[in-house]
Amino acid sequence: MNSFWGEIIGYLSGMCTTLAFLPQAIKSIVTKNVSGLSLYMYIIYCIGLIFWILYGVYLHSFQIVLFNIITLIFNMIILYMIIKSCVKK
């Protein structure tokens, strides 16, 4: 596979996995309901995203860094809301 198609696949996969979290982030923000979401899952996922970002920096891969930063932002919003709802209880 040449580098052009590799880049296209990298961008498409990054967009799909990033956009997968957008509906949950929007729903959580609009409804302010995160009661069914797992605190530990989002903590572990955010840590994993940080490692993906570091790995992307190591590889000099713009796609890995870009899409994992965007996904981390969406997940940090949800994580913040989960923690905030736990503190209220």
Average pLDDT over residues 3-32: 91
Q: What is the C-alpha to C-alpha distance for residues 78 and 31, in angstroms, rounded to an integer?
A: 12
pLDDT above 90 (res 53): yes
Domain edges within the chain: 3-88
Q: Global pTM?
A: 0.88
Q: Which two tokens stand for residue 57?
A: 């920096």
pLDDT given for residue 2 in this prediction:
76
pLDDT (0 to 100) of residue 3: 87
What is the rounded average pLDDT of the residues 32-54? 95
Task: Give 63-79 pLDDT, tens digit per residue.
Answer: 999 999 999 999 999 99
**Which SS3 state, helix, strand or coil, does residue 60 take?**
coil
Q: Which CATH class is domain 3-88?
A: mainly alpha
Q: What is the pLDDT of residue 6?
A: 86
